[in-house]
Amino acid sequence: MDKYIEKFLFRATLCLMIFLIGVQSLMCNDFFVMCLSIVDKLEGIRIK
């Protein structure tokens, strides 16, 4: 359980960092969409 929480927090933090960097560089849409697509793929794999 701890490993799962650790992975989730790491992924959430990474997405947040990418999002904030994207906002600063005015490319937030590309970064955010890319991040969401990666998370969607990971979630889809886990569900299947």
Distance CA 35, CA 15 (A): 6
Distance CA 43, CA 5 (A): 14
pTM assigned to the model:
0.42
Distance of CA 2 to the CA centre of its chain: 19
Using one digit for the tens of pLDDT, what is the confidence trace for 1-48? Answer: 688 888 898 999 998 888 777 677 665 567 678 878 888 888 777 666
